[in-house]
Chain A
């Protein structure tokens, strides 16, 4: 299957700082990417849909000023957690949709964020 990468795979930051997570589709172009968050022993929760060249669409209850999404190219989307707090500690997973062929959606390996 197609490959989606994330960087970093894990990060620890201090409360009040900002953290940027990158998501790349390595062997296909993705007009649409998605960002999910997963807390321990819970399912994935969709945070936002990222569209190349336009503003992201956020799910209800997700603060767009706190979770900044930029989708500047067909292979790269970034999520910036601004002014991070301990409650933002979570597993962040991106996903990219392959819009040639059967529109499968592929997921990255995830980024573990710990805010101290």
Chain B
């Protein structure tokens, strides 16, 4: 199973871009990278996912390196409400149409005024 490695914590100034790195050096060719975040005592919130191309939606951008061994989640203008634990997950099994999400320890992002 592909594993992910993330820094345990990061700080970001309000209004600045937050760049959250993730290493997944053992990822297989058909495994997608997913990002979720969890605000204290709530269920995880889906942010974005991708296979090999960079992706962007209304919440964030996902940059995946060409060798797919790492990725970066970018929150372009972080706000205080973005303070949360961010999880980078490689879906285990089933490519994008099956499998399960196994959570690692995530990165605790603190956005400071």
Contact = CB atoms under 8 A, between A and B. Distances in A.
B46 A104 contact: yes
Contacts of B102: 46
- Chain B interface secondary structure, helix, strand, loop or mixed? loop
Contacts of B98: 32, 103
Interface in B35-73: 36, 38, 41-46, 49
Nearest to B96: A103
B41 A110 contact: yes
B53 to A, nearest CB: 14
Contacts of B105: 43
Interface residues of A, number: 25
B76 interface: no
Contacts of A95: 43-44, 101
A4 B41 CA distance: 16
Given A43-B87, A43-B106, A105 B101 contact: yes
A44 B45 contact: no
A33 to B, nearest CB: 11
A102 B104 contact: no
B101 A103 contact: no
A32 B94 CA distance: 13
A102 B46 contact: no
Interface in B2-53: 34, 36, 38, 41-46, 49
A49 interface: yes
A91 interface: yes
Contacts of A4: 43
Contacts of A46: 100-103
Interface of B: 34, 36, 38, 41-46, 49, 87, 96-98, 100-106
Interface of A: 1, 4, 6, 32, 34, 36, 43-46, 49, 91, 93, 95, 99, 102-110, 112
Given A34-B100, A46-B102, 6 more contacts: A43-B104, A49-B100, A95-B44, A95-B101, A104-B49, A107-B43
* Complex A-B, nearest 3 residue pairs according to Cβ-Cβ distance, in ascending order: A107-B43, A44-B103, A107-B44
